[in-house]
Structure 1
């Protein structure tokens, strides 16, 4: 995991003053890290971006305790697993990493509202679509079975066209990283779930 050290150290330095009141923490891979409009997209809420580039779900588990130390968030929104499958890991392995993440989040934050964003159907990794679907199904079923503080957020189905393939203009030229259009869609979907347990207060 040494290749993530610069990214993780950067997070620690950049957010040293955010720990006592981070609002909603967004944690995960580059889909989170490069979300440059995150604060504006959730302008009615306080959010902190703790994504680190290229991270796998395995890496997010590995660094969880270190990154989250002293944080007191209102909720945790998580995205990772995409890179694990891209690196050749099997859905069952990703599922085990998710179970470990659940245990860590419970230990660190108790019954804090936690949200898992489903793996997205990217153009570049469409050859792995069945593995992505299976992984999403495993995680969604685990969340439903556990009847816990976790919520599964489905973005996969909303990012497909009428033929059931990825909507191309949701992605940059690499077919993997998302465009502003895709992030606007994510904002809409995520906010629909957030408001159920974290309603906005009119001031």
Structure 2
């Protein structure tokens, strides 16, 4: 299980990674129509499951406060969950469904992702939020925010994180990113552009 995820979000994220691997394997090859249909339906099902997990008051209450039979989740999970939902949906739309960043759906998700980070206290963001997961979050949001006013804050935060993690090259960053959800032929080029842009960002 990845840091910052509980059993529910980890299972869903495992499915995101499976579909990412499938997207990589079928890229540039002639795919049977039935395989493509199953792939599309799997993405749609995953999207519904992620959305359902967002609106489950019972799950969220247990996650934040615990119950008679379950303890509340660790602070890393409680800190990350809102951001996890936003960024996972960004990835599903932008990468798996190939929705352009200029779409209203992606724009709304970028704003939500930024807000979910901005409302955290400094300790929550820089101590309790798992830094490797935060790297993936900020790179995905950075790609998705290519035309958004939210971009500067996201890049400034990413630059601070780059310094904190002592990442001196794109290759070092990519080695972390591919541990999460990644489709190289769709993610690599825009992610490299985000990484290079950090050198022009002032803190």
TM-score by length of 2: 0.29
- Greater helix share, 1 or 2? 2
TM-score by length of 1: 0.29
Rg larger in structure: 2
